[in-house]
Amino acid sequence: MVDIRPFRAIRYTAKAGELENLITQPYDKITPQMQREYYARSPYNYCRVILPTEKNRYEAAQQRVRNWLLEGILAKDEAAAVYVYTQAFTVNGETYTRTGVVAACRLYDFSENTVFPHEVTYNMPKQDRLNMMRAVKKNLEPISFMYSDPEGKTRRVLSEAASAAPIITVQDSFGVKHTVLQVADMNVVSSLQKIMQDKTLVITDGHHRYESALKYRDEMRASTNWTWDSAFNFHMSYLVSCQEPGLVVLPTHRLLRRVTLTTEHLSRLHMFFNILPLEPSVSAIEAYLAANRGRNAFAVYTRGKAYGLTLKSHAQIAPLHASNTSEETRKLDVVILRDVIFNHVLNTGVLNLDEDILYERWTKDAVNRVDSGDANVAFLLNPIGPETVWRIAQKHERLPEKSTDFYPKTASGLLIMDISPEEKL
């Protein structure tokens, strides 16, 4: 049973300045250059909270949130509400609109079969977000979920609230327009609660934050006099139907920093893939991938050379997968890339983020990083559809890290949820 609640959001006030100078991308999407740019935009930019530059960043974030509340830079809404959140955006020449609802969603252990992860997580980012939660006692960014609603029940309920004037309208630096409506009508909230109570949820963004929130919840339960209504039992969440037309998933391309593609590697790759030389350009790589969607195809780029790879036979590579991997998961590009190309052909071993492997959203950025010498070789993929992610998560399987890129990300700095020990929902 999914339990969602309205909450009193903490938001920037007019005193903070123009919202476009305050919001950011999620903390794990902020590069050092972006961090510098965000800091330059405003003394109240949200990067100063979610990713401070100070060495004592958790203390710095805690002090800023506290001071900004005291100074009236941030303020908590008077009434509890849920928030209808719409993003209008363009990607690859197509225009989309995605609408979901932001609410407090009860935290569930994965063993309860209510919330399902779909990607592998790592201890370091989980510890980082746990430390931040301990310091600020706030949900600084929402966790994103998808759920199945083929009948469109939530869309109909949300459309009833669409006549209200938005409390937030802002365009970010990526050209995405964010609109937030506040819904304090408890009849609408009750309708949403009834629809959601028999759903299951799949995490689309925020795996590390979710697992950190579970740990924080358990710590608070052990150290306070808590009730089921205590806010730390919940997390601010962005809930979107997987039938939503604007639920776009982009690929995440892999770049290897220490591995060089040799003629021997190409020879070994030829055992499993048909190899086609490509023009070493972004347009040629993207055209090859688009023409081979659904065929287990990859593009490889290494300083002025490019190749297209298409898998010869699933039966041939079956022994290279873990025995407990389902048939559907074995046929995913990211799994074949990991199990066959990385583990078997290249023998990469454990790939440490930033040291051994980099991830890029756009083909041109991946190619540029190889050309600049920041990486030696790029493997470029097609995206996974949201329905596929949904099915695999329900089977309790996890994909390799960074297998999906649900685009665009929610803007950070629009809404904050208080999870202090005394806060109730």
HEC string of 265-285 equals HHHHHCCCEEEEEECCCHHHH
Question: Do 281 and 218 share a domain, yes or no?
Answer: no
Per-residue model confidence as pLDDT tens digits over 228-246: 999 999 999 999 999 998 9
Residue 71 has pLDDT above 90, yes or no: yes
**pLDDT class of 182 with cuts at 50, 70, 90:** very high
CATH code, domain carrying 307: 3.30.1760
Residue 162 has pLDDT above 90, yes or no: no
Question: Do 185 and 145 share a domain, yes or no?
Answer: yes
Residue 159 has pLDDT above 90, yes or no: no
Residue indicated by tokens 């022994």 = 319
Question: Do 293 and 240 share a domain, yes or no?
Answer: no
For residue 425, tell me if it sits in a domain. Answer: no
For residue 392, tell me if it sits in a domain. Answer: no
Per-residue model confidence as pLDDT tens digits over 282-317: 999 999 999 999 899 999 999 989 999 999 999 999
Domain of residue 243: give its range: 4-248+407-418
CB 376 within 8 A of CB 259: yes
For residue 53, tell me if it sits in a domain. Answer: yes
Question: Do 229 and 270 share a domain, yes or no?
Answer: no
pLDDT of residue 302: 96
For residue 81, tell me if it sits in a domain. Answer: yes
For residue 399, tell me if it sits in a domain. Answer: no
pLDDT of residue 122: 84
Question: Do 130 and 151 share a domain, yes or no?
Answer: yes
Question: Do 372 and 295 share a domain, yes or no?
Answer: yes
Per-residue model confidence as pLDDT tens digits over 81-90: 999 999 999 9
Question: Do 37 and 115 share a domain, yes or no?
Answer: yes
Alpha carbon distance 237, 104 (integer Å): 6
Question: Do 348 and 414 share a domain, yes or no?
Answer: no
pLDDT of residue 324: 87
Per DSSP, the three-state class of 53 is coil
Alpha carbon distance 248, 245 (integer Å): 8
Alpha carbon distance 19, 171 (integer Å): 9
Question: Do 60 and 187 share a domain, yes or no?
Answer: yes
User: How many structural domains compose the chain?
Assistant: 2
Question: Do 211 and 268 share a domain, yes or no?
Answer: no
The residue with greater pLDDT, 176 or 160, is 176
Give backbone dihedrals phi and psi of 104, rounded to 5 degrees, phi first: -80, 120
Per-residue model confidence as pLDDT tens digits over 85-141: 999 999 989 999 999 999 999 999 999 999 999 998 888 899 999 999 999 999 999
Question: Do 73 and 148 share a domain, yes or no?
Answer: yes
pLDDT of residue 415: 98
For residue 387, tell me if it sits in a domain. Answer: no
Question: Do 346 and 209 share a domain, yes or no?
Answer: no
